[in-house]
Amino acid sequence: MQAGAARDLERLARERLSQADLAFDSIRAFAGSRRLTLVVEGLPAGQNARMDLRKGPRSGAAEAAIAGFVRASGIDRGALIERDGAYWAERVEPGRPMADILAQMVPEMVAAFPWPKSMTSAGGSLRWVRPLRRVLCIFDRKLVPFSLDGLESGDLSEGHRAMGARMPFRARDFGEYREALAGHFVVLDVEERKRRILQGADRLCAERGLRLVRDEGLLTEVAGMVEWPTPLLGSMDPDYLSLPPEVIRTSMRVHQRYFAVCEGDAGALAPFFIAVANIEAADNGLLIAAGNARVLAARLADARYFWDEDCRRSLESRIETLAGVTFHARLGDLQARALRIGALARDLACFSGADPELAAHAGRLAKADLVTAMVGEFPELQGVMGGYYARAEGIDAQVADAIADHYRPQGPGEAPPTAPVSMAVALADKIDMILGFFSIDETPTGSRDPFALRRAALGVIRTILDARLRAPIREMARLSEFATPEVIATVVDFFHERLKALLRDQGARVDLIDAVFALDDDDLTRVVERIDALQRFLETPDGANLVSGYKRAANILSAEARKGPLPTGAPDRAGAPGAEAGLFDALSAVRPVVVAALASDDYVAALGALAELRAPVDVFFDQVLVNSNLATERDNRLRLLRQIDDVMGAVADFSRVSG
Amino acid sequence: MTLSAALSFQQIILTLHDYWSAQGCVILQPYDVEVGAGTLHPATVLRALGPKPWRAAYVQPSRRPSDGRHGDNPNRLRHFHQYQVILKPNPSDMQDLYLGSLEAVGIDSTLHDIRFVEDDWENPTVGAWGLGWEVWCDGMEVSQYTYFQQVGGLDVSPVSGELTYGLERLALYVQGVDNVFDLAFNDRQSPDFRTYGDVFLENERQFSAYEQEAADVAMLKRHFRDMEAEAPRLLASHGRRGQPLILPAFDYVLKASHLFNLLDARGAIAVAERQSYIGRIRDLCKACATAWVQLEAAGA
């Protein structure tokens, strides 16, 4: 929220300054737990006078309307201008001193501030994120006076709540303000606070040969909670290290905002943590570190309790409980979903090379941990906990891993699963979700994707591509309970769109993506292999020239098609001149090779065969005039050109290739 | 601070009573119906509604059946004590008043890390929300600090400031103790010295087992239905001055709310049913709130 508030403050100021035609050199905003600060450098001393032209009623409007406009504009009736069928009022807006402008602008910004949630406090009508205590507003070292719902602006601010003088201080420019804050134990800039936290934490860890586990999100959050960051090293009972490390880390992060610490080289969690206090205490933080350790001990005791309670029931027995949890009003409860995922995983096992029974078992149990106490407490441990509980029950390790990994990949930074059973369940989970929501018309539109179906599709795509699975989307989708011909068709389009977006992001040529997608292939691994091969082919002289020849043929064919229907049937070799017969022979030789290569998915061989066409095509266009005066000759040559299109079109839609 | 010099559990309560009494609060006794939090006391939830100023402070024993740990957790309890302060309208120096109260009980803010952590507070069963802070002492949430914006689904004006201290947790820091059952309940030097565990450990053990294992689900469900029917019936009944019986009706809402918590702890409420139960309690609470506001407007 703080970073958002700083951005909003800067944006509101920028917008208003530019509306008022006020230039400045720089603008910066800072946010912290108790203050929002905006500093604009290089503003002029005031605003220049400006011409303000305002449009009034149209010509010939009722006199009352014109009189009203004149009054509202504050000009004489005689000064009204009539132009382009309307009245206009032209007025010189006198320039105003900057302090006046700011005294109006700042209260407007406060009133317009887009807090996600705001409040009023007793006796006031001002909406702000929490009760507003002070407003300091200075321009050119002078106080800018205004009132906010009874709160007068001033040149005083306050520093740290518990450290230093604990008295308001005066500041008349940004340098003074920043320095006074530092003198009152407040670090203004969040980046500086982050630096201090990391440096302090690294030093504490290094002293004991430990290593801080980096966590950028946590760092930002903690830096927003403290004004005078003071990292402390605390310890915990090593007995708790028998809990899953994910549980310990999540409990630390979510409940306590502590950083985890690991053993220097081994990388295993160490029985320590880093907490960031807001004060430097006289006892070097001993009391604070002990207090933080006490809280963590209670949290971990709770986690141990959840673990023990959860282990008292099998995952299988929880499937019944899943019936009480709604997945989506129109897609039934979680029990139904678990059973669907189990069935689908069994059917998808063949695509990832998994044992169908293991895949079915893992799929069925994949959602069981959603009704455990631990996942109730830490929703982000879904899947992970299921995996641990499955192992604790003695369930097959492949099944346990699949339960743990089936949500993966959840973001660009996370790798998809690679074990066959895990892949089958990960695919089943996502395909069930995508088909389900598509079947009730809950498809993503624009920026709206409430069920994260795009991420799910990307997960399927990355799982397939990373493992080079031959898993055609249509065949997989058909296995879902929600499959209808319409749903399958939209889902295949959806996957094509997502794959295109992924490939574009990875820097593939858009024209080649289009050329291969035109074949409507739903085997995504093959699509990507083809795009790669095509790209390499086009980088060879044969490839580039062949595309020119192809385009020439296509241009002639489309020009002729405009004049009348193109001749059908196969060309005839008899009586053809050498170059024409040569192309005929080359096509006859290449066609079966291409067909055979494609049938065995050897795309490189298919392209290699096409390369054989390059020379005969070049010779043909050099030596043969397609538009012969003899209709039979012309028709035969057009038939030949159509064959180039046929043979090459089976490999890619070369008309979409640029260059 | 040495252990012996630190305030006992009951001295903390007496000190807070003195402190808030000096701020003009009426010092009330706990409400005698089982509740999950001090907010639910009618002195907070009903008095926060309407225009009349109000300052009150009281201890509220609070029951959270799902938090039962059979006395094994160092600070999680199914029965604990909240110290509740309501200041309506909220004074502008409320944070300073709060920090002053911590000092009064012996929390030295130059040795302890007192942190105000932004928190959007809501209690869906009473249709209430507000903005404020969790107050952390060395990483432990020891208080909740809220500016009420809505109660019973109604916007409030003037805004009340609510302070809720978790007395046991606060006492851990005041006394420098790691386990709540080791807290000094009364004077450590007294021949009649008792720890918190002497007073409450057996309660935790028996009630954890009762609430999570032994409670009769069928009976609890039946009682819930009874309470749910009784509240609207009382709202439709009238006292001698023609006023609806809001306070008695609200008692039944509280009883229904506690029965729901018991059923929840027994695992007898499916996840899909939860929202429906909470909604039913909230609707009853809203009806009480609306009637209360009307009664206040009529000048009762």
How crowded is residue B233: how many other Cβ atoms within 10 Å of its Cβ? 12
B271 min Cα distance to partner chain A (Å): 5
What is residue B274's predicted lDDT score, i.e. its pLDDT? 83
3-state secondary structure of B169: helix
Given a cut of 50, whether residue A549 has pLDDT beyond it is yes
* Nearest CB to A291; choose among B138, B161, B272: B138
Q: pTM for this one?
A: 0.82
3-state secondary structure of A445: strand
Q: Which among B96, B159, B271 is the top mutation candidate for probing chain A, defined by the most A β-carbons within 10 Å of its own β-carbon?
A: B271
CA gap A368, A382 in Å, rounded: 9
In tens, the pLDDT along A124-151 reads 889 999 999 999 999 999 999 999 988 9
Q: Who contacts A62 (Cβ-Cβ below 8 Å, separation ≥6)?
A: none
Hey, which residues does B163 pair with through a beta bridge? B85, B145
In tens, the pLDDT along A162-218 reads 998 889 999 999 999 999 999 999 999 999 999 999 999 999 999 999 999 999 999
Burial class for A104, CB neighbours closer than 10 Å (0-12, 13-18, 19+)? middle
Confidence of residue A29 (pLDDT cuts 50, 70, 90): very high
Q: φ, ψ for residue A301 (rounded to 5)?
A: -60, -40
Q: How far lies A29's CA from each of A15, A133, A186, A191, A362, in Å? A: 14, 19, 16, 12, 51
**If we measure between CA atoms, which residue out of A201, A209, A202, A217 comes closest to residue A3?**
A217
* Nearest CB to A288; choose among B75, B112, B131: B112
What is residue A92's predicted lDDT score, i.e. its pLDDT? 82
Confidence of residue A76 (pLDDT cuts 50, 70, 90): confident
Query: Angle, nearest 10°, between helix axes A420-439 and A485-505?
Result: 120
What is residue B1's predicted lDDT score, i.e. its pLDDT? 47
* Nearest CB to A121; choose among B99, B147, B270: B147
B241 min Cα distance to partner chain A (Å): 32
Between A and B, how many CB-CB pairs are < 8 A?
129
Confidence of residue B4 (pLDDT cuts 50, 70, 90): low
Q: Which chain B positions have a beta carbon within 8 Å of A325's beta carbon?
A: 270-272
Q: Which chain B positions have a beta carbon within 8 Å of A133's beta carbon?
A: 92
- pLDDT higher at A264 or A379: A379
Put simply, the answer to whether A122 touches B130 (Cβ < 8 Å) is no
Confidence of residue A542 (pLDDT cuts 50, 70, 90): confident
Structure tokens at A244: 């899953």
Looking at the complex, does the CB of residue A589 fall below 8 Å from at least one CB of chain B? no
What is residue A366's predicted lDDT score, i.e. its pLDDT? 97
CA gap A73, B5 in Å, rounded: 75
CA gap A654, A647 in Å, rounded: 11
Half-sphere CA count of A528, side-chain side, radius 13 A: 23
- What mean pLDDT is reported for chain B? 94
Given a cut of 60, whether residue B2 has pLDDT beyond it is no
Which residue in this structure is represented by tokens 């009132």? A147
Q: Who contacts B62 (Cβ-Cβ below 8 Å, separation ≥6)?
A: B35, B36, B37, B38, B79, B80, B81, B82
CA A119 from centre of chain:
31
What is residue A659's predicted lDDT score, i.e. its pLDDT? 65
- pLDDT higher at B116 or A560: B116
Given a cut of 70, whether residue A302 has pLDDT beyond it is yes
DSSP per-residue string spanning B78-103: SEEEEEEEEEESPPTTHHHHHHHHHH
| CB-based contact A299:B246 (threshold 8 Å) | no
Q: Which chain A positions have a beta carbon within 8 Å of B106's beta carbon?
A: none
Q: Which chain B positions have a beta carbon within 8 Å of A320's beta carbon?
A: none
Q: Which chain A positions have a beta carbon within 8 Å of B137's beta carbon?
A: 291
Cα torsion through A482, A486, A489, A490, rounded to 10: -80
In tens, the pLDDT along B15-43 reads 999 999 999 999 999 999 999 999 999 99
- What mean pLDDT is reported for chain A? 92
